[in-house]
Amino acid sequence: MSIRKLIPAILLTLGLVAWFQEIFTVEWTSGYCSNPVDGPTSAVYGMPLPYIRWSTVSSLEYLWMPAVFVFNIVLLFAIAFPFVSRLLRWFESRTSLERVGVMRWVVSGLSSILILNFVIWTGFQIYIGMYKVPVANIAMENYETYSQLRPVGFGLWTFRYNCAPSDFWFPK
């Protein structure tokens, strides 16, 4: 298959997974959240891996891990690309030969708009200071490690400040 035929699938997959990762999220917890010794801790979010946490400094200031943010998109892309490319090939097989080229241009154009909107949205979050503090690790030093984070919920992008304790992962 030529690269020209893959470009619409690549762009569409990238646009879809970027927004999927932005709209839906997984909430994560740790053992410290279930048994806070020195006071409450903030919630951790990320889809599929945790990459963002409320900084506890300001209501709209979050610690975030840009490397994991990008890795999440790459991971979701690797999962979704075979399905999206197969779906586009199926649509192309149902479209007349004269319209296949037009369909590729339309899909590529709309997908580029999706990607551009995502880049603008992420840039806006950085500009207003929501993604203010890029860090290498969002785990609270001396209280938890990144590998101790466990998922406790899946849903729409609705950040809460305090973490949700989990008796399932961390029984008392």
Per the structure, the complete domain to which residue 65 belongs is given by 3-156
Q: What is the pTM of this model?
A: 0.86
171 located within any domain? no
CA 78, CA 130: separation in Å to the nearest integer?
Answer: 28
Q: Per residue in 106-154, pLDDT tens?
A: 888 999 999 999 999 999 988 988 887 788 988 888 888 898 899 998 8
161 located within any domain? no
92 located within any domain? yes
pLDDT of residue 1: 59
The separation between the first and the last C-alpha atoms of the chain, rounded to the nearest angstrom, is 56
Q: Per residue in 74-118, pLDDT tens?
A: 999 999 999 999 998 888 887 776 777 788 888 889 999 999 999
168 located within any domain? no
49 located within any domain? yes
pLDDT of residue 114: 95
34 located within any domain? yes
100 located within any domain? yes
21 located within any domain? yes
Strand partners, 151: 28
The H or E element containing residue 125 is helix 97-127
Q: Per residue in 13-44, pLDDT tens?
A: 999 999 999 899 999 988 888 877 777 788 89
> Per the structure, how many domains does the chain have?
1
CA 154, CA 29: separation in Å to the nearest integer?
Answer: 12
CA 115, CA 98: separation in Å to the nearest integer?
Answer: 27
